[in-house]
Structures are given as C-alpha cells and as structure tokens.
Amino acid sequence: MPMNARIVARRSAILEAPSNLGLKPTGVERLPDALLANGLAERTRARRAGRVEPDAPYSTWLDPETKTLNARGIAKYSLKLAEAVGELLDGDEFPIVLGGDCSILLGPALAMRRRGRYGLLFIDGHADFYQPEANPNGEAASMDLALVTGYGPPQLTNLDGRGPLVRAEDVVAFGFRDMSEQAAYGSQPLPPELHAYDLGAVRERGIASAVQEAVARVARPELAGFWIHVDADCLDDAIMPAVDYRLPDGLSALELETVLRAALATGRAVGIEVTIYNPALDASGLAGRALTNILANVL
C-alpha cells in the first residue's frame, strides 16, 4: 500500500493533555473539556484515547538554573506525554492532542524523535523562540519552538538525551505576527535554516502560494513525516479573543483551514496538537465553537 494511502487511512485518536505548566493557571487547561463538549470527537469520528495529567502542581517559583517556571515538571510531563503519543503512533493511529499550553509540544516532539527524523509545521501567532534570559515571564510556552530545536537549557532541550528533538531545517513557522514584541524584549532570532513565514510574508505571497511552499518543506521525502502544531492565537483576534496573550490581526478561519487541508492532503502528517484556547476567557463559547468547527471541517 502506498505511504500516503496508509497514513490517510489511519484512525484518529484524541489524547487530552491539559497541562498549564508552561503558561499560568488561568484556564487553558480546560481546552480539552471545552472542545470535546462541542462535539469534536463525534464530528471527527475520533477515538477517545485518554488523558495525560501533569504530576506536578503549577508553581510560581522560577528555577534559577533554567530561569523557567516549572522546568522540572515540564520535563517530567514531556516524558509521560511522549509515551502516550508514541503508543498511538505505534498503533498506527493519528493523534489529535488537545492541550494545554504550547509546552506540550515537547512530548510529541520527543515521541517522534525516538522514532526517526520528522518535520514540524508550527502554526502560531507567536514565534515562541525566546531564550530564558529574554523571556519576560519565565513561561516555557514562550520558548517551545526554541526548546524543541535545541535552543535553551539542556534540561528541556535534551530530553531523553535526544536533543535537538526536531532539526531547525525541518521546521516551518507559519503565520506568526509578534515580530515587534520579539524585538522589544530581545528575543533571539529564528535560525536562518528554519523556514519562517510570518503573517506579512503569508499575505505578500498569497495564502495558496505560501501554504504550498510551507507544506512542501515539511513533507520532504527524507523525513519520516511531520507533526502539526496549532496555537489558537494564530487566528484573527476577532475570531479567537480567548487567549492569554492577544495580538491584533491573524489568520482567518478559511486561511487556517487552507493550511491544515493542504498539510493533511500530503498524507505525511502523523499527528496534530491544539493549544492555548482558554475557555475561561470565552463566556459566550463562540471562540471555542469556531475553533471546533475549523478542526472538525478539516480532520
């Protein structure tokens, strides 16, 4: 059976990953509950594959060695999540991982690294490439892309002795729009080998062309496949105001669906994660329903 046909035929399995260790305890850990209440499992015909809870409670203590909040808890949780994701991959299922904050990316990245060389399609309103010294709040959710590509404290970049978890040249960062904030705080720049399409570049190229280039990069034949990271704040703020760090502008629902459809159509995507939507900031539930609709439409 051709590789594309085999992957497309895989059954979807929803794994809940309600960790807030990389952000703050404001409600982002309720993301799985909200999307499942909106019928995501039924609409995607996905199996409910369980829930991976952090063992450590959230702490506001800033670890002096890593300059990162909850660094030890995140490292331990990432190992635990990697095992759960790995079981789904080995069972020939397509994981849909519902976070939680963006630091959950370390778990799937480690699961893939244990199995070969994979790419990463990183769709996010922020580049998430801060080094601890420039991170204004010590939150790993502002550093997750840096951490999985090996930039940061070894306690979080070299999990299981396998760092970097994803090679920078195998990553596409798509749709981020926090360039002025990065400059203001002194964030380290994205490495030149990492393929970056900020929102301005996406609009300049046109969504169809930008998506084609981005997806072709992570679907290269030398890679075993690629993972998709979707931070809800990639969406236009008018659609998704229910995030802890809001930014003006963003992708439309149709634009995000275009990216995801193209990525899934390659037959090379092995899983997806969704992060950062905060139900506590969505009293009407409109933002959560919009996110659920996008995911249900493409998955």
Q: Mean pLDDT in the chain? A: 96
**Confidence bin at 240 (pLDDT 50/70/90):** very high
* Alpha carbons 230 and 292: distance in angstroms, whole number: 12
Note the pLDDT tens digit of each residue in 142-183.
Answer: 999 999 999 999 999 999 999 999 999 999 999 999 999 999
Note the pLDDT tens digit of each residue in 47-75.
Answer: 999 999 999 999 999 999 999 999 999 99
What predicted TM-score, i.e. pTM, was given to this entire model?
0.96
Helices 71-90 and 106-113: angle between axes, nearest 10 degrees: 50
228: containing domain: 3-298
Sign (positive or negative) of CA dihedral 50, 285, 258, 217? negative
Note the pLDDT tens digit of each residue in 176-208.
Answer: 999 999 999 999 999 999 999 999 999 999 999
Which residues, including other chains, have CB under 8 Å from residue 104's CB and lie 6 or more apart? 17, 19, 22, 77, 78, 81, 97, 273, 275
Percent with pLDDT over 90 in the chain: 97
pLDDT at 221: 97
**Confidence bin at 9 (pLDDT 50/70/90):** low
Helix/strand/coil percentages in the chain, nearest 5? 45, 15, 40
In DSSP notation, 256-280 reads HHHHHHHHHHTT-EEEEEEE---GG
Q: Based on the structure, what is the number of domains in the chain? A: 1
Q: Which residue is associated with the tokens 């190992």? A: 79
Closest-CA residue to 215 (of 101, 80, 119): 119
Q: Which two tokens stand for residue 233?
A: 């704040």
CATH code (residue 9): 3.40.800.10
pLDDT at 3: 37
- Distances 297 to 156, 255, 279 between C-alpha atoms, Å: 34, 13, 21
pLDDT at 1: 27
* Alpha carbons 143 and 147: distance in angstroms, whole number: 6
Which residues, including other chains, have CB under 8 Å from residue 180's CB and lie 6 or more apart? none
Q: Which two tokens stand for residue 171?
A: 């990553």
* Alpha carbons 141 and 105: distance in angstroms, whole number: 9
Note the pLDDT tens digit of each residue in 84-117.
Answer: 999 999 999 999 999 999 999 999 999 999 999 9
Three-class secondary structure assignment of 87-137 = HHHHCCEEEEEECCCHHHHHHHHHHHHCCCCCEEEEECCCCCCCCCCCCCC
Closest-CA residue to 279 (of 66, 28, 23): 28
